[in-house]
Amino acid sequence: MKILTQDDLPIRQDTAVAIGLFDGVHEGHRTLIEDIENQEGLFSLVYTFDGKPNHAAYKNIYTLQEKEEIFADMQVDGFYLQAFDRQFSQMTKQEFIKRLVHDFHAKHITVGFDFRFGKNAEGTTDYLREQSGKYGYTLHVMPRIEYHGEKVSSSYIRELILAGNMEETAKLLRRFYFVDGTIEKGNHLGSKIGFPTANISTDKLLPQYGVYATIAQVDGNLYSAVTNVGTKPTVKSDDTPNIETFILDFSGDVYNEEMRVYFVRQIRREKAFANVDELKRQIASDARSASGMLENLEVYKDYIIC
């Protein structure tokens, strides 16, 4: 996949352009991508925008780098990130269409049913359709997609993640939700009680605090694992959340290695135990549960980015 910048414009080949924020690259977004990839003879291009800033009250589902990786895995030809600066925010709806046609050579455009564009969000899908003959492009508007009566949206998926519902999340993302990080040195308590863990930190959205059956990806290899997300109330006194993964049937030094943790299913909610021995027994039970769920990793390959 080619990452395009302003320096690459105007594009010299005809394109099919999918436009959106793509904060989750979920089932609805995939429909947009499939549409542009089905346009024979056209360069498939994702045109997206700076996401909402990541902060305490709003955590992104994916980072920009992760979105680029996902689109590449989906075999999109090109990716363009539009800076949502003041100049762009003042662009009229007609100027935006002219930009798509001139700078991106758009011959086919696909958007969601509620897509708005241009200054003060004055542009609508109806306006895009009205202008298609004048500017020589075809238009596909993806209808509203629902799941269990809810609109499939990044907001809905965020709710599922926060509720620890990783199976429903995976259905709508068509991949397991994942978190990346560099493995850090912890306090070695896990090693002392027989369960050495790999700890990573992230500023991304975290699932509900609890214990999960996970798949750990280290150095290109996949391992069954069990992961605790939370504050470790039995052994830690502050409220700083962490992600602590016990990789099953694995030994070796992985400190400073990059690790990706795919969340498959919640085993239980986080809880405080009376003592470390009780915690140790529960971890052993959690590990057995995760091992049973993840006995054959091959069945999960379609939900993993390799």
Q: How far apart are CA 203 and CA 41, in angstroms?
A: 40
Q: How far apart are CA 86 and CA 77, in angstroms?
A: 29
Who wins on pLDDT, 305 or 179? 179
Q: Domain of 117?
A: 2-144
Predicted confidence at residue 187, as pLDDT, reads 56
Q: How confident is the model at residue 12 (pLDDT cuts 50, 70, 90)?
A: very high
The residue-averaged pLDDT of 113-138 equals 95
Q: How far apart are CA 198 and CA 183, in angstroms?
A: 6
pTM of the model: 0.87
Q: What is the largest CA-CA distance in the chain?
A: 73
Q: Are residues 189 and 293 in the same domain?
A: yes
User: Is 75's pLDDT higher than 70?
Assistant: yes
57-71, 100-114, 228-242: range with lowest mean pLDDT: 228-242
The residue-averaged pLDDT of 195-210 equals 88
Is position 150 within any domain?
no
Q: Are residues 89 and 191 in the same domain?
A: no
* pLDDT tens by residue, 249-281: 877 777 788 999 999 999 999 888 777 788 888
Predicted confidence at residue 278, as pLDDT, reads 82
User: Is 288's pLDDT higher than 80?
Assistant: yes
Q: Terminus-to-terminus CA distance in the chain, angstroms?
A: 15
Q: Are residues 6 and 140 in the same domain?
A: yes
Predicted confidence at residue 272, as pLDDT, reads 80
Q: Are residues 260 and 128 in the same domain?
A: no
User: Is 158's pLDDT higher than 70?
Assistant: yes
Residue finishing a domain among 144, 176, 204: 144
Q: How confident is the model at residue 85 (pLDDT cuts 50, 70, 90)?
A: confident
User: Is 132's pLDDT higher than 60?
Assistant: yes
Q: How far apart are CA 53 and CA 68, in angstroms?
A: 17
Q: Are residues 140 and 73 in the same domain?
A: yes
Predicted confidence at residue 256, as pLDDT, reads 82
Q: Are residues 297 and 211 in the same domain?
A: yes
Q: Are residues 113 and 244 in the same domain?
A: no
Predicted confidence at residue 189, as pLDDT, reads 52
CATH number at residue 23: 3.40.50.620
80-89, 96-105, 235-244: range with lowest mean pLDDT: 235-244
Q: Are residues 119 and 190 in the same domain?
A: no
Q: How confident is the model at residue 52 (pLDDT cuts 50, 70, 90)?
A: low
Who wins on pLDDT, 196 or 129? 129
User: Is 143's pLDDT higher than 80?
Assistant: yes
Q: How far apart are CA 79 and CA 15, in angstroms?
A: 12
Q: How far apart are CA 161 and CA 166, in angstroms?
A: 6
Number of domains in the chain: 2
3-class SS letters over 96-136: HHHHHHHCCCEEEEEEECCCCECHHHCECHHHHHHHHHHHC
* pLDDT tens by residue, 15-45: 999 999 898 899 889 999 999 999 999 999 9
Q: Are residues 211 and 105 in the same domain?
A: no
Predicted confidence at residue 237, as pLDDT, reads 57
User: Is 196's pLDDT higher than 80?
Assistant: no
The residue-averaged pLDDT of 47-75 equals 82
Q: Are residues 122 and 251 in the same domain?
A: no
Is position 265 within any domain?
yes
Q: Can you tell me whether residue 176 is helix, strand or coil?
A: coil
Q: What residue type is assigned to position 4 of the chain?
A: L
Predicted confidence at residue 148, as pLDDT, reads 87
Who wins on pLDDT, 42 or 151? 42
Q: Are residues 32 and 115 in the same domain?
A: yes
CATH number at residue 216: 2.40.30.30
User: The sheet that has 138-142: what strands, in order across it?
Assistant: 2-4, 78-82, 43-49, 15-19, 106-112, 138-142
Is position 121 within any domain?
yes
* pLDDT tens by residue, 216-256: 999 889 999 999 998 866 656 567 788 999 999 877 777 78
